Amino acid sequence: MAKIINLNMANNNDTVIFGLENSWELAKNIGLSINKEIHPVTKVTFADGERLLSSEITTRNKSVYIICNTAKPVNDNIMELLIFIDSLKRASAKYITVVMTYYGYARQDRKAAGRQPISAKLIADLLETAGATKVIAIDLHNPSIQGFFNIPVDDLRGQFIFSAELRSRKENFVIVSPDHGGAVRARQLSELLDHGDEIAIIDKRRTGPNQSEIMGVLGNVKDKNVVIYDDIIDTGGTIIHAVKALKEQGAKKVIVAATHGLFSKGFDMFENDKDVDEVIVTDSVNHDHLKNYKKLKILSLAKFLGLVIEANINKTSITDVYYAYGQRHK
Ligand code: R5P
C-alpha cells in the first residue's frame, strides 16, 4: 500500500535546494511540485574562462540539494558543478546531494580497448572529492556506475515516467531495445505496461565513436506499433538505424523514446524522417531550443524528482515513491 506523503513536511528550514543554470527550468518545476523555494546560484565567468559559483544564502549545517545536469557543454558543466559543491562544503553545508539528471561521461564506464580511461569513475571520484555526500541520478547509462562511488547513489528508473505516458495512450506497443545492453531496460518498461513477453532487440555492432551498424532484429514486430526505448539519444545514429531496421521488418507506427535527449546533431533528422512517428524524451537536459518541433514530446521529471527529494527530506522510502507515482498516473 503506498504511503501518503505529507507535502508540508518538505518545508523544512534545514533544507536548501539550488538549481544550476542549465537545469533551472526543471528545478523551478520541482520547486512548484513540492512547494519549496529553489535558489539560483551566483556565477562569475572570468576573462580566461575560469568560473566562480557560490550561494547568496547561508548553507551552514544545512542539507543541500543541487539540481543539475552535465550534458553539453559537458566539460564546462562538470567543472561548474564541482566548483559549486566545493563552495558549499567550505560554507559548512552538512549534506550535499547532487540531483544529476544527466551524467556526462557515463558511457566511458570501462576500458573498451587497451590504454583507454574509465572517465565515468573519474567523475565519481571528482564529485566525492569536491564534497558530494549523495548522488541522485536517473537512468545511468550503466547502473554499475553506482559502485564507482563510496557514497549512496540512487539511480532512479525512467521506465516509470514512460510507462505512465504510454499507458495513457490505450494502445499496445512492442518495446524494442536498440542494442543488447538495453534489453533489461526494455523488458522492465514492457512489464510495467503489462505485456512483458513481447519485446524485440536490435542486434547492433559499434563500428567506431558515434557509429554503429545493425545486423538484424530479434523478435517479431510485423504489423505492430513499436516503441524503441534507449537511455540516450546523442547524434541520433543508433535510433535512426533502428527505425529503418524495424520498418524493414514490417513495423507499423514507430515511436522513439529515450530518457536523455541530447540531440547533438539537432532534431531535423527526426522531424523530417517519414518513418519516425514521434520522439519522446524527458527534460533531464534542457530542450527549450527544440520546443517548436511537432514530433518531439517532452515528459517532465519534475513531479517524480519532487517526490524523490521529499522522500529524502522526510526519510521515507523511494520504493513508495515509485508506487505513489505509478498510482497517480494510472
Ligand atoms: C549506447 O550504448 C547508448 O545506449 C545509446 O544508444 C547511444 O549513446 C546513442 O548514441 P547516438 O545517438 O550517437 O547513436
* Ligand 1 neighbour 231 (Cβ under 6 A): yes
Distance, in Å, from the CA atom of 233 to the CA atom of 155, rounded to the nearest integer, reads 19
Write the pLDDT tens digit of every residue in 112-155.
Answer: 999 999 999 999 999 999 999 999 999 999 999 999 999 999 99
Active-site residue among 62, 204, 224, 303?
204
Decide: helix, strand or coil at residue 69: coil
Per cent of the chain over pLDDT 90 is: 85
* Ligand 1 neighbour 80 (Cβ under 6 A): no
For the CA atoms of 16, 283, 211, 224, what is the dihedral angle to 10 degrees? 140
- What's the 266 CA to ligand 1 centre distance in angstroms? 15
Q: Domain coordinates of the chain in residue numbers?
A: 15-156+302-326, 159-299
**pLDDT score of 28:** 98
State the pTM of this model. 0.93
Verify whether residue 204 is a known catalytic residue. yes
Cell 521515507 belongs to residue: 316
Nearest ligand 1 atom to the CA of 212 is 14
Nearest ligand 1 atom to the CA of 141 is 4
* Backbone Cα Rg of the chain: 20
* Angle, helices 159-167/183-192, rounded to nearest 10 degrees: 40
Nearest to 82 by CA among 6, 15, 148, 135: 135
- What's the 90 CA to ligand 1 centre distance in angstroms? 38
Name the CATH architecture for the domain at 159-299. 3-Layer(aba) Sandwich (3.40)
Q: What is the CATH number of domain 15-156+302-326?
A: 3.40.50.2020
Q: Given ligand 1 and candidates 72, 140, 185, 234, which is best to mutate, with the most ligand atoms within 8 Å of its CB?
A: 234
Domains 15-156+302-326 and 159-299 belong to one CATH topology: yes
Peptide bond into 73 cis (omega under 30): yes
Write the pLDDT tens digit of every residue in 172-221.
Answer: 999 999 999 899 999 999 999 986 668 999 998 877 777 778 779 999 99
Write the pLDDT tens digit of every residue in 72-121.
Answer: 999 999 999 999 999 999 999 999 999 999 999 999 999 999 999 999 99
